Amino acid sequence: MQLFNKILTVMMLTFLAVFFLLFMILPHRDFSERENRMLQKKPALSRDNLISGKFSHAAEDYLTDHFVFRDTWVGLKSAAELILQKKDNNGVYFGRDGYLLQKPEKLNTAFLAANIAALNQFAATLPAPVYLLLAPTSAQVLDDKLPRFAAPQQNLDLFALIKKQLGPDIRLIDTYPALAAHKQEYIYYKTDHHWTSLGAYYAYREAGRVMDFPALDLNDFNLEPASDNFYGTLYSKSGHRFLQPDSIHLFHPKRELACQVDYINEQRTGNSLYAREHLLQKDQYAVFLDGNHALTRITTLKKTGRKLLIIKDSYANTLVPFLANHYDEIYLIDLRYFNAQLKPYLEQYGFKEILLIYNTLSLAEDSSLRKIGS
């Protein structure tokens, strides 16, 4: 028994020594592509940091983020949780058929009410019609993919609460029925929280019905399979590594759509609604409109006489390539990055239609929406 304890002690010390040596000699990364986030930098040692406790917290985070073979250990932890039939990790449900789905946080009803009040105040002061296209999450639509004992009613309650609090000056574009009718199709990514191009297409058809433009049929588009190795935000967040990648498809109208895309703050211009360079990077969803920007202007040669302002979150990026077929100009504002005064901007450009595109969780949790009412 004593010999066994000695052998076990030697093995443990050897294990720790090897891992310490590897920790010291292996390069440390600044960014984790799998988790899609910046990693903790080596903390600076100072008297103030030691006294305040900041150094110890930062050092702990640094060791955790740069632990040897971290990605492998995260994957093994996730696999163990699946074996133990744990239904979620880090706010992500392990769903059926390889789906990862957002787990809703406990709803802050006061926060949601303040956001909707800001939207109502904004719409009440404008002569132009204001539309809200509400994008449901995959967990709201694909309730059959949720794990056992998940609470789909919480998602539906959020939907109903938003509808109830909207004022009379906002016309709701309810995409839920159309998406639910096509839930057996590939309308949401399995590893990402966004809808696919096909899901966005069904939302676009509902927008056309409410906003009075003739939506194109599916057979009016050529479908391009752009990627078959996309791992999205929920893959990064969940730690679940044993999943098949998603595919990304781009819709091209058969009647060619010539356009110019101006990224105003970055002072650069493109001639496509798709930024293909992102297909070679981790965040492949950014192929749609080059990701999120404070202010983007899209100009087409459609000569419809219509100009649209979209105030949006990232769900809009997949939807806009469809909407561009019906407008001469589309301006996109993302309030998370837009810091100018909004009202003078609206008056300057004289928009006749304003479309808000928000995912239900963004509407409930995004504090930047308060800017719209100020």
Question: Does residue 63 fall inside a structural domain?
Answer: no
**Domain coverage including residue 306:** 100-373
Question: Sign (positive/negative) of CA torsion 67, 71, 74, 80?
Answer: negative
Give the count of domains, the chain: 1
Question: Does residue 358 fall inside a structural domain?
Answer: yes
Q: What is the pLDDT of residue 83?
A: 47
8 Å CB contact between 122 and 137? no
Q: What is the pLDDT of residue 127?
A: 87
Question: Does residue 59 fall inside a structural domain?
Answer: no
Instruction: Please give the span between the terminal C-alpha atoms of the chain, in angstroms, as a whole number.
Output: 74
Question: Does residue 120 fall inside a structural domain?
Answer: yes
Question: Sign (positive/negative) of CA torsion 304, 296, 230, 276?
Answer: positive
3-state secondary structure labels for all residues of 79-114 = HHHHHCCCCEECCEEECHHHCEEECCCCCCHHHHHH
Q: Which strand (E) or helix (H) includes residue 362? A: helix 360-365
Q: Which residues pair with 259 in a beta bridge?
A: 300
- Number of residues in the chain: 374
Question: Does residue 55 fall inside a structural domain?
Answer: no
Is the pTM of the predicted complex or chain greater than 0.85?
no
Q: What is the pLDDT of residue 318?
A: 98
Q: What is the mean pLDDT of each run of 10 residues along the chain (374 residues)?
A: 64 61 56 50 59 54 51 53 60 91 87 95 92 94 87 71 94 96 97 97 98 97 97 87 91 94 95 96 94 97 94 98 97 94 84 95 92 78
Question: Does residue 350 fall inside a structural domain?
Answer: yes
Question: Sign (positive/negative) of CA torsion 205, 211, 215, 221?
Answer: negative
Q: What is the pLDDT of residue 192?
A: 96
Question: Does residue 70 fall inside a structural domain?
Answer: no
Q: What is the pLDDT of residue 56?
A: 58
Question: Does residue 2 fall inside a structural domain?
Answer: no
The Cα-based distances of 259 to 156, 195, 202, 297, 322 in angstroms read 38, 24, 23, 10, 13
For residues 266, 272, 274, 280, the Cα torsion angle rounded to the nearest 10 degrees is -80
Q: What is the pLDDT of residue 112?
A: 94
The Cα-based distances of 118 to 161, 204, 308, 341 in angstroms read 15, 25, 20, 15
Q: What is the pLDDT of residue 68?
A: 46
Q: What is the pLDDT of residue 46?
A: 63
